[in-house]
Amino acid sequence: MATFGLLLLPGAALLMLAAHFIRSQLWLLAVLCVALIALLAVPRRLTALVLQVALIAGGIEWLRTLFGLVSARMAAGAPFTRLTLILGGIALVTCASAMVFRTATLRARYR
């Protein structure tokens, strides 16, 4: 049960990333994110590495989106603080979800 609980965070991060790509009509990347969720079930060392790289790249994508949206809001004179906090938090959680693979439980699973 502890393994399942630890895998919920990367699974949720990948699901949010898939929704982000669907909203941007980047269907191939959305399908890739869903496939990566399925990859959580494969207990191999390479799997953990691929997932960690994908989650870090996802966090960078959230930051890229954050900077683009904040720039547009600032140019329009619209408020941007709440947007910054929300997307910054999502980027942080996405990057942090890569770290669950460093726990003893998941290191044993993905040896």
Indicate the residue type of 94.
Answer: T
pLDDT tens-digit map of 64-93 = 999 999 999 999 999 999 999 999 999 999
* pTM to 2 decimal places: 0.92
- 58 vs 90: CA distance, rounded Å: 10
- 66 vs 63: CA distance, rounded Å: 5
pLDDT tens-digit map of 24-78 = 999 999 999 999 999 999 999 999 999 999 999 999 999 999 999 999 999 999 9
- 4 vs 20: CA distance, rounded Å: 24
Phi-psi region of 104 (alpha: psi -120 to 50; beta: other; left: phi over 0): alpha
Are 107 and 41 a contacting pair, CB within 8 Å?
A: no
Helix (H, G, I), strand (E, B) or coil at 101: helix
For residue 24 the two structure tokens come to 């941007």
Boundaries of every domain in the chain: 2-109
- 84 vs 67: CA distance, rounded Å: 9
Question: How far from the centroid of its chain's Cα atoms is residue 27's Cα?
Answer: 16
